[in-house]
Amino acid sequence: SAVISQKPSRDICQRGTSLTIQCQVDSQVTMMFWYRQQPGQSLTLIATANQGSEATYESGFVIDKFPISRPNLTFSTLTVSNMSPEDSSIYLCSVEDGRVYGYTFGSGTRLTVV
């Protein structure tokens, strides 16, 4: 299966600032996915990122708050903009790994906003 490197692994940020999270995959993949996992909660899909087109956002998530880049088939970034303490979560990158609908996940970025 694909190997995903996600950076940073954790960060503590001031409210009002922005953080860009990077996701690097060791193989070319068509679709990349960004999830949020709030403390003690399950995973919620933020958006789907396809190379060469705009990301598709899920209900409750908007591009201005979570801009996504997908410059090639092995890389994507998610920016958490104008952060507030409510944005404190684990953010996870995921890709399809050859199994139908199966995903491989990165280790996540633990974000704390103070």
Partner 1 sequence: GESVGLHLPTLSVQEGDNSIINCAYSNSASDYFIWYKQESGKGPQFIIDIRSNMDKRQGQRVTVLLNKTVKHLSLQIAATQPGDSAVYFCAENSGGYQKVTFGTGTKLQVIP
Q: Which residues bind partner 1 (CB under 8 A)?
A: 1, 4, 31, 33, 37, 39-45, 48, 90, 92, 94, 96-97, 99-108, 110
Q: How far is the CB of 82 from partner 1 (least distance, A)?
A: 24
8-state DSSP, 87: G
Neighbours of 106 (CB within 10 A): 24
User: Taking phi first (over 0 means left), then psi (-120 to 50 degrees means alpha), and beta for anything else, what does residue 54 get?
Assistant: beta
Nearer to partner 1, 65 or 110 (CB): 110
Q: How far is the CB of 40 from partner 1 (least distance, A)?
A: 3
Separation CA 39–CA 110 (nearest Å): 10
Q: How far is the CB of 73 from partner 1 (least distance, A)?
A: 15
Nearer to partner 1, 44 or 82 (CB): 44
For residues 42 and 27, the answer to whether their CB atoms sit within 8 Å is: no
Nearer to partner 1, 81 or 88 (CB): 88
